[in-house]
């Protein structure tokens, strides 16, 4: 008993020395391209990281307007975590060049591309300009499959351990607690989503494909004829006819997608129109990853 007590005291002393030698300034400065990335970095990094996002969750993730404040944050970052699969191709590369921060350039230790941790769906066979603003590496909106979240969290944990080895044990402990809570929530989401299994969905953009595929709903296509290109009146009329013949049950748009085309289709078919968030902050109730998923389910009525 005595030796246990001594060990405990030694442990306390070691902990005290460790905390004294690591002032608050030692926090790893993490910049995530999108809110969900900053949130996972916070969940894993706890008090040891200072994480922020470049984009707001209610913005179109394909086109973020560059502001000087983004440049300042890129300048100071020790770690830049991007979604990848070319979701940032339309806005981040020029900012990253201007920032001139060697620590976070692609290929550096302070750079992490999350798409490398997951399996992408919808990889095109060949890419041509006629395909519109296509995602040439596959669908980049993979964070909307709950099974991808722990994979992404694992990559962020490993990267934080690489940059701050002294706190790796605490990062791993946070990861395991996060995974446990995520697993529990995922079980409940799967039970709720089972009610919608087999339902037919029309989307404005291929934004929630990972989500609907995960829960066995059937995707019937998109209102935009090509990614990033709005439909013509004729194409919209064709979509109405197709939605009727395919007996579509749910018409989905992202918060940043134009409202009129989706509303037109719903008015002419009677199909319920649902606006779904794709990231934290896209709707007020999506405050973290758990409430993001929860708000998607609630909006779908389950
Ligand atoms: Zn997209």
Q: Which fold is adopted by the domain 192-299?
A: Rossmann fold (3.40.50)
Residue whose token pair is 């905390």:
19
CA of 191 to the centre of ligand 1 (A): 28
Beta pairing, strands 79-82 & 218-222 = unpaired
For the stretch 36-46, pLDDT in tens is 999 999 999 99
Sheet holding 111-113, edge to edge: 49-53, 28-32, 79-82, 111-113
Q: Is the pTM of this model over 0.85?
A: yes
CATH topology of domain 24-187: Rossmann fold (3.40.50)
| Residue 131: predicted pLDDT | 57
Ligand 1 midpoint to CA 234 (Å): 23
Asked if 24-187 and 192-299 have one fold, the answer is yes
pLDDT, tens digit, 9 for 90 and up, residues 200-254 = 999 999 999 999 999 999 999 999 998 888 999 999 999 999 999 999 999 999 9
What is the CA(253)–ligand 1 centre distance, in A?
A: 12
The rounded Å distance from CA 295 to ligand 1 centre is 20
- Provide the strand spans (E) within the chain: 28-32, 49-53, 79-82, 111-113, 200-203, 218-222, 250-254, 272-276
Q: How many angstroms is it from 61 CA to the middle of ligand 1?
A: 8
d(CA 63, ligand 1 centre) in Å: 10
Q: What is the reported pLDDT for 4?
A: 44
Question: If you average pLDDT over residues 105-132, what whole number do you get?
Answer: 86
Compute the distance from residue 160 Cα to the ligand 1 centre, in Å. Answer: 28
pLDDT: which is higher, 190 or 100: 190
Q: Are 71 and 111 in contact (CB under 8 A)?
A: no
Domain ranges of the chain: 24-187, 192-299
Is the model more confident about 292 or about 16? Answer: 292
100-116 average pLDDT score: 97
Q: Over the stretch 135-144, which tens digit does the pLDDT of each residue have? A: 888 999 999 9
How much is the pLDDT for 33? Answer: 98
Distance CA 178, CA 150 (A): 8
């Amino acid at each position: 008993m005595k030796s246990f007590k001594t060990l405990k005291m030694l442990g306390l002393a070691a902990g005290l020395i460790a905390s004294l030698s690591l002032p608050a300034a030692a926090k790893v400065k993490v910049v995530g391209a999108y809110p969900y990335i900053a949130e996972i970095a916070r969940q894993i990094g706890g008090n040891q990281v200072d994480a922020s996002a470049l984009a707001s969750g209610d913005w179109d993730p394909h086109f973020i307007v560059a502001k000087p404040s983004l440049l300042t944050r890129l300048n100071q970052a020790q770690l830049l975590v991007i979604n990848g699969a070319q979701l940032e191709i339309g806005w981040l590369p020029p900012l990253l060049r201007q920032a001139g921060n060697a620590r976070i350039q692609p290929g550096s230790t302070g750079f992490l591309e999350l798409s490398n941790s997951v399996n992408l769906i919808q990889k095109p066979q060949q890419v041509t300009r006629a395909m519109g603003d296509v995602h040439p590496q596959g669908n980049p909106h993979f964070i909307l499959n709950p099974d991808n979240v722990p994979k992404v969290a694992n990559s962020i944990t490993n990267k934080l351990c690489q940059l701050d080895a002294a706190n790796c044990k605490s990062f791993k402990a946070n990861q395991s607690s996060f995974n446990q809570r995520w697993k529990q929530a995922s079980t409940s989401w799967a039970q709720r989503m089972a009610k919608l299994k087999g339902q037919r969905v029309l989307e404005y953009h291929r934004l929630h494909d990972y989500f609907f595929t995960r829960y066995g709903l059937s995707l019937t296509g998109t209102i935009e004829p090509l990614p990033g290109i709005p439909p013509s009146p004729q194409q919209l009329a064709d979509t109405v006819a197709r939605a009727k013949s395919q007996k579509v049950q749910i018409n989905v748009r992202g918060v940043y997608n134009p409202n009129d085309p989706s509303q037109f289709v719903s008015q002419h078919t009677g199909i319920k129109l649902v606006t779904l968030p794709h990231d934290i902050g896209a709707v007020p109730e999506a405050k973290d990853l758990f409430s993001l998923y929860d708000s998607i389910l609630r909006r779908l009525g389950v």
